[in-house]
């Protein structure tokens, strides 16, 4: 078997996901032995067998993936510089937003219908805090077929929000049961928001791809928890786990409901309260998470990149606010 190397500049690579798409497309091309892509360099290197596949066929595979060979377009480094400037701008812009989220007061013993309305009213804040994270799970740029992308996006949005609801119920039960003995001191609040901010910042940087090593932090299902092979689907596994994790991130709205759950003094009432509230936040989140299905694949990568910048900026803001509370 003969082996040759083909290197070329590639247009349109602006993120780590772009590298994955290009690499996967090439590796699934008959005759390709190995492939490496770098969005910072806008370059692809392919080891191939010239007796099986030709350079024009490799270029055709790249074009089919939406990343034609050539040196045109915006480079990955330039995109990251622009994103860094945008993140700094958003960080300072967010400082002018209200420090606290306005949540209608939930009096002790409030009807569950009223709790549901509170969820509906605060769902816009949920979109602001977790929308970018959700879009990263509901948008799949590797699916070219529009119908398949819509099905995948809707399924992922349902799984992500299902994970959020499950975590909210568990958290509500814990806070309800321990409400009589747990008190939110300023020190505890500072630690909580600092840790949450650091987590959100890491998630944003991981989505961004600017620090390659952070990709290793992406949640993986433990082997014992994986679904049976015949029913396992990507849109079930990862979005569900991310939803479960984001359900424990404190924000203005969820923090207020955690405090209310503590006031119930009962694990059952705390769980029901958080269940009803989180269900109230689902409709708007579900609509927002599904919009990725209706955006052409070639633009989805930009949506993910922009979302990552928003998430990173919010994480940095939470982190600094948490430190200032101490």
Per-residue pLDDT of the chain (326 residues; tens, 9 = 90+): 789 999 999 888 888 878 888 998 999 999 999 999 988 888 999 999 999 999 999 999 998 888 888 876 666 788 888 888 988 888 888 666 544 444 444 444 456 777 888 788 777 667 666 766 777 666 665 566 667 767 777 778 888 888 889 999 999 899 888 876 766 567 766 776 677 678 778 777 877 777 766 655 554 444 434 444 444 444 455 778 878 887 777 666 677 677 778 777 788 888 998 999 899 888 888 877 666 556 665 666 777 788 778 778 877 887 887 788 76
Q: Is residue 94 part of a domain?
A: no
d(C-alpha 259, C-alpha 116), whole Å: 16
Q: Is residue 85 part of a domain?
A: no
Say whether both 141 and 199 belong to one domain: yes
Give the residue from 211, 240, 27, 11 showing the smallest Cα distance to 137. 240
What's this model's pTM, rounded to 2 decimal places?
0.60
Tell me how many domains the chain contains: 2
Say whether both 47 and 120 belong to one domain: no
Q: Is residue 86 part of a domain?
A: no
Say whether both 221 and 160 belong to one domain: yes
Q: Is residue 75 part of a domain?
A: no
CB 318 within 8 A of CB 197: yes
Say whether both 30 and 134 belong to one domain: no
CA neighbours closer than 13 Å in the CB half-sphere of residue 81: 6
Say whether both 59 and 104 belong to one domain: no
Give the 3-state secondary structure of residue 154: helix
Q: In sequence order, what are the beta bridge partners of 38?
A: 43
Give the 3-state secondary structure of residue 38: strand
d(C-alpha 290, C-alpha 287), whole Å: 5
**Three-state SS sequence of 64-104:** HCCCCECCCCCCHHHHHHHHHHHHHHHHHHHCCCCCCCCCC
Paired tokens of 39:
């969005």
Domain extent, residue 307, equals 100-325
């Amino acid at each position: 078997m003969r082996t040759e190397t083909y290197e070329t500049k590639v247009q349109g690579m602006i993120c780590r996901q772009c590298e994955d798409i290009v690499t996967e497309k090439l590796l699934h091309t008959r005759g390709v032995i190995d492939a490496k892509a770098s969005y910072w360099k806008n370059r692809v290197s392919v080891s191939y067998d010239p007796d099986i596949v030709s350079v024009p066929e490799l270029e055709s595979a790249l074009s089919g993936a939406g990343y034609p060979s050539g040196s045109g377009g915006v480079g990955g480094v330039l995109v990251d510089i622009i994103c860094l400037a945008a993140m700094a701008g958003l960080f300072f812009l967010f400082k002018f937003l209200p420090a606290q989220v306005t949540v209608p007061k939930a009096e002790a013993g409030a009807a569950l219908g009223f709790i549901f309305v509170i969820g509906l009213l605060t769902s816009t804040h949920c979109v602001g805090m977790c929308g970018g994270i959700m879009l990263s799970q509901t948008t799949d740029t590797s699916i070219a077929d529009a119908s398949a992308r819509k099905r995948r996006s809707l399924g992922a949005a349902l799984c992500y929000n299902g994970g959020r609801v499950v975590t909210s119920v568990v958290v509500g039960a814990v806070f309800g049961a321990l409400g009589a003995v747990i008190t939110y001191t300023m020190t505890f609040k500072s630690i909580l928001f600092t840790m949450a901010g650091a987590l959100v910042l890491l998630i944003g940087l991981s989505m961004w791809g600017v620090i390659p090593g952070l990709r290793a932090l992406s949640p993986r299902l433990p082997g014992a928890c994986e679904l049976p092979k015949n029913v396992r689907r990507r849109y079930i596994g990862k979005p569900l786990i991310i939803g479960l994790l984001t359900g424990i991130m404190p924000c203005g709205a969820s923090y207020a409901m955690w405090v209310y759950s503590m006031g119930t003094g009962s694990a059952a009432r705390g769980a029901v309260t958080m269940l009803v509230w989180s269900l109230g936040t689902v409709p708007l989140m579900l609509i927002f998470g599904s919009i990725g299905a209706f955006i052409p694949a070639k633009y989805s990568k930009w949506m993910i990149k922009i979302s990552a910048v928003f998430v990173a900026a919010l994480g940095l803001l939470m982190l600094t606010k948490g430190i200032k509370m101490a």
